[in-house]
Amino acid sequence: MTRGLAFSCVYVLVLTACGERPAVTKVSDDPFLSAPSQMATNIVVTFSDSSFVKARLYASVGRILEQEQQTTMSGPVTVDFFDRQNSDPVARMTSDSCLVEDRTKNMTAIGNVVVTSLRRDIVLHTSKLSWVQSTQRIRSDEAVTIETPQERIDGVGFESNQDLTSYRLLRVRGVQRK
């Protein structure tokens, strides 16, 4: 009886030893390699050109991802936009999170994006919005809603200066007068 048990154990060991073993975790799948190199809380980032402040970003948490050359901010995230003539913000954007390209300083806001013009009574709602730092323009390829005191405009695709005083909808889906 013990001889049969010993034979069974040897047989099982031989079968398991001959089987393929899964490969060791790949380096690209290592979660520690994709972790941020730096992380901070209560972030304030100023986007400027010489002494001219273009925008100021406020976020709860910031993470620098050196491999991707990106900085992610999570929220809520608030960005104040400025123009050359004014030391006060001309527009304010809020979102759930944002991504800043470290080389270009362009920013993409993601999730519940709302841009409010502080000069005119205009509010923009969308799910994703990009800000180009060099031109100080905002754009979105997503569905947008623009609310003014006179109307509500729904569309897809949007481009504007950052204070929403001159905007263009690429495809208007509807206009509702108030």
pLDDT for res 67: 84
pTM of the model: 0.77
pLDDT for res 49: 81
Burial class (CB in 10 A: 0-12, 13-18, 19+), 24: exposed
Residues sharing a CB contact under 8 Å with residue 163, sequence separation 6 or more, in sequence order: 81, 83, 90, 91, 117, 118, 119, 120
> For each successive 10 residues of the chain (178 residues), what is the average pLDDT?
56 52 50 67 87 89 88 91 84 94 92 93 95 91 95 95 90 90
- For the chain, the structural domain boundaries read 36-177
What's the CATH code, domain 36-177?
A: 2.60.450.10
